[in-house]
């Protein structure tokens, strides 16, 4: 079990799973833009809390929490970077405003991670693709979008396998100082990037043979 499970669709029946994917997509887009537009803590907190009923209705709280836990590390990182940069740029002092904006930035990330996670957990890429096509979204867009969405879980599963492979070679991801921990991700990230590139090349090749330019 891993943080990546927070991105994997699984076939179960719940009111949220059965919802028209276009509605869920619309909801995520609205959340996305609201989170980008507003930077008040109270608005962001509301957006975050709004997601929770959906999570409970869909019975995916376990997976959702796991994906948030995965995001927590990055969120913490965002927070530290924000605080540090305002501290240094404003002459080695911090104002309440600056702390507030660091919290807002972090919260914004958590809101985005949380809402995307619910979306991927409850929406099958196939349904989404069909729905987009039926609603007369231009074919190219629907195709690009569903292909991208389809590869999110594939990527997540691949990341899991890579982590397993490196753990089997004695890599301890959580060991060491803060910097060491970040460096521990290199043996996972590089194979992930390289095999994604390899895959996209082959995919492009397979599609190339069928496209008339």
Partner 1 sequence: MSIIETKDLTYTYPGGKFPSIKNISMEIRKGEFVLITGPSGCGKTTLCRCFNGLIPNFYQGEIKGEIIVTGLNPLKKQTHEMAKNVGLVFQNPENQLFALSVEKDVAFGLENIGMRREEIRQRVDWALKQVEIYDLRERSPHEISGGQQQRVAIASVLAMQPKLIVLDEPTSFLDPLSAEKIFSIIYEMNKKLGITVVLVEHRLDLTAKYASRIIIMDQGKICLDGKPRKILNTQETRLLGVGIPKATLLYQELLEDKIALSNEIPLCSEELANFLKEQLKAK
Partner 2 sequence: MIEVENLHFIYPSNVEALKGISLNIRDGEFVAIMGQNGAGKTTLVKHFNGLLKPSRGFVKINSIETTKTSVAELAKNIGFVFQNPDHQLFSETVEEEIAFALKNFGFKEEVVKKRIDWAMNLLGLSQYRDTSPFLLSGGERKRVALASVLAWNPNTLILDEPTIGQDHRQKENLRQFIIQMQTQKKTIVMVTHDVEFVAECNPRVLLMRDGEIIADGKGTDILTNQELLTKSSIVLPQIAQIFQELSCFGLPQNIIDIYDAKNILIQILEKKK
Is 202 a binding residue for partner 1 by CB under 8 A? The answer is yes
Of the residues 43, 50, 130, 155, which one makes contact with partner 1 according to CB under 8 A: 130
Q: Count other C-beta atoms under 10 Å from residue 46's C-beta.
A: 13
- For partner 2, the closer of residues 133 and 157 by Cβ is 157
133 or 158: CB nearest partner 2: 158
84 vs 197, which CB is nearer to partner 2? Answer: 197
Q: Give the residues lining the site for partner 2 (CB under 8 A).
A: 1, 5, 8, 10-12, 63, 158, 161-162, 164-172, 186-187, 190-191, 194-195, 198
Look at residues 8, 32, 49 and name the one whose alpha carbon lies nearest to residue 112. Answer: 32
Which stretch in 28-36, 62-70, 174-182, 198-206 sits in contact with partner 1 by CB under 8 A? 198-206
Report 147-186 residues binding partner 1 (CB under 8 A).
147, 150, 154
* Closest CB to partner 2 among residues 68, 132: 68
Residues 104 and 40 sit within 8 Å (Cβ to Cβ): yes
What is the nearest approach in angstroms of partner 2 to the Cβ of residue 208?
21
Q: Closest separation between CB of residue 106 and partner 2, Å?
A: 28
Residues that bind partner 1 (CB under 8 A): 125-126, 129-130, 146-147, 150, 154, 198-199, 201-203, 205-213
């Amino acid at each position: 079990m891993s943080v990546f499970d927070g991105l994997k669709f699984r076939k179960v029946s719940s009111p949220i799973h059965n919802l028209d994917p276009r509605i869920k997509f619309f909801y995520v887009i609205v959340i996305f833009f609201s989170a980008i537009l507003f930077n008040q803590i109270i608005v962001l907190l509301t957006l975050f809390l709004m997601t929770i009923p959906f999570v409970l209705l869909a019975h995916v709280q376990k997976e959702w929490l796991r994906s948030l836990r995965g995001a927590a590390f990055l969120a913490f990182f965002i927070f530290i970077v924000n605080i540090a940069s305002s501290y240094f740029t404003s002459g080695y002092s911090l104002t309440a405003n600056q702390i507030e904006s660091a919290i807002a930035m972090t919260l914004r990330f958590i809101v985005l991670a949380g809402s995307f996670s619910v979306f991927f957990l409850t929406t099958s890429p196939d349904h989404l693709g069909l729905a987009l096509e039926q609603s007369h979204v231009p074919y190219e867009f629907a195709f690009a979008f569903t292909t991208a969405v389809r590869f999110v879980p594939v990527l997540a599963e691949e990341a899991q396998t890579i982590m397993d492979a490196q753990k089997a070679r004695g890599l301890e991801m959580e060991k060491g100082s803060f910097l060491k921990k970040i460096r521990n991700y290199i043996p996972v990230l590089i194979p992930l990037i390289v095999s994604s590139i390899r895959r996209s090349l082959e995919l492009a090749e397979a599609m190339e043979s069928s496209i008339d330019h």
